[in-house]
Amino acid sequence: MTIKIGNQAFIQDQNIDLSSSIQLVGKLQREGKTTVLVSVNNSVIGIIGLLDTPKPGAKEAISALKSLDIQPIMLTGDNENTSKEIALSVGIERIFANVLPKGKVDVVTSIQNEQKKRYEHQRHHKFVAMIGDGINDAPALTAADIGIAIGSGTDVAIEAGKVVLVRDDIYDVVTAIEIARKTVSKIKQNLIYAFLYNVILIPVAATGLLYPAFAGIAMAASSVSVTMNSLTLQRWSPSSRKRSNK
């Protein structure tokens, strides 16, 4: 007795006749369900319909990413109907369905090239981040400019990710981006403060008009202003913390 279990594409590749079950498979897929077929001796004897549900807070996280000028894209091995059902429920418009693990790397690379081409005449272009938690996501996490692994996922995915979210909360992606942007903003501000002190006072010192004691005070003031500006981060809260306090 030969038993084979897999999706529609796999069963068809095994040259198994689906004529008696194709109508039911189509019905389940139109309902947004992933179908798994079971065959015995090259005859389909059962069809399993699996319905995925979005992670809690996924819709809110997608909305927040869009507000940060980040385009969310769904990349999945599920069939197109199921993918569209889930994607539309959380607010994702662009979908790549029926993608095999190797195909995920190809899609990530394709989007990277697409962004580079779109912004080829500009100094900067948009980068591609990949979020995943499974073994199948690991190659794509490595190929992306920024691989974000969910901490509750597989060890392989965690090792492949450049950023690891400790909690199993998809909204932490938004938090990580907000923290990164705020930190970079503070670094730029501190560089401006430091350069201002030097640009203003070095020419004065070169003329010999700056008393050494004042030079020391100015240097200390530069360090204090940079430190105090950095400490203001303690009073800042990412949107996830504000969200949890509601």
DSSP character string of 42-71:
TEEEEEEEE---PPTTHHHHHHHHHHTT--
Q: Where does the pLDDT of residue 146 fall: very low under 50, low under 70, confident under 90, or very high at 90 and above? A: very high
Q: Which domains does the chain have, with CATH numbers?
A: 3-50 (3.40.1110.10), 58-170 (3.40.50.1000), 176-244 (no CATH)
In this model, does residue 207 exceed pLDDT 90? no
Torsion (CA) 8, 10, 13, 17 in degrees, nearest 10: -40
Model pLDDT, residue 62: 94
Model pLDDT, residue 161: 83
Model pLDDT, residue 199: 81
For 39, residues 6+ apart whose C-beta sits below 8 A from its C-beta are 3, 4, 5, 11, 14, 16, 45
When mean pLDDT is compared over 49-53, 142-146, 156-160, 225-229, the highest value belongs to 142-146
pLDDT of 87-126, one tens digit each?
988 999 999 988 888 899 999 999 999 888 887 777 677 8
- Pick from 57-66, 133-142, 174-183, 217-226: least confident: 217-226
Give the whole-angstrom CA distance, residue 199 versus residue 195: 6
Mean confidence (pLDDT) of the chain: 84
What angle do the packed helices 172-206 and 58-67 form, to 10 degrees? 30
pLDDT of 42-86, one tens digit each?
888 999 988 777 888 889 999 999 999 999 999 988 878 778 888
As a whole number, mean pLDDT of residues 157-180 equals: 87
Contact 44, 21 (CB under 8 A): yes
